[in-house]
Amino acid sequence: MSTTSLRRRITRRELHSPRSTAAIVVAVLLILGLAWVGTEIVIALLGLPALLVAPADMFASAVNLPDAPAAIVVAAGAVVVVIGLVLVVLALAPGRRARHVLETERAATVVDSEVLASALARHASSAADVDPDHTSVSVSSRHAVVDLVPTTGIPVDRSAVSSAVERELAGYGLRRPVSSRVRVRESGKVGA
């Protein structure tokens, strides 16, 4: 296996979340349900009273389902459809973690979005001459949003902050480019 394909495989594993949690939850629920039905059948064969519902009553209610009130049948069907759709979406949708890949020649470098946000906040507050506590940044897979709260009476040059953030993002060499947006609040805070 070449190092390039190995790096791709490693970064894909780091960027995408596994489906094992959902699979384990579904498997445990199925096992518990089947164990309960099996226990009810064994208890019925022994002639003891049922824990919740006797197997004969379960099957009779399933056979008599068309005679049940339509609202109950529709509600139960809707719940089953929603559960099925959630499981299909979990199975097919790409589960991305909040991470980014830096293009390097020597290693597969994966950086958490919070680390990028922290670095961008530091550079944005420096470019805006604003206290770092008055700067917040959120980074998603495609966008970085910088929120600045200026000090009262001191204007913030939005274009200088925007260019500083863009320069910083370009310097990281991210595999998927991240666009930035700078928002400066209208009302400022008193003090540094």
- The pLDDT of residue 72 is 87
Model-level pTM? 0.62
Phi, psi of 27 (to 5 degrees): -65, -45
Task: Record the tokens describing residue 119, joined without a space.
Answer: 């670095």
**Tens-digit pLDDT profile for the chain (192 aa)?**
677 777 777 777 777 777 778 888 889 999 999 999 999 999 999 999 988 888 888 888 888 888 888 888 899 899 999 999 998 888 887 777 778 888 777 777 888 889 999 999 999 998 888 888 888 999 988 899 999 888 887 888 888 889 999 999 888 888 888 888 999 888 766 665
Strands (E), the chain: 99-102, 109-112, 135-139, 143-148, 179-184
H or E stretch at 38: helix 20-45
Residue-range domains of the chain with CATH: 3-92 (no CATH), 99-184 (3.30.300)
CB count within 10 Å of CB 183 equals 12
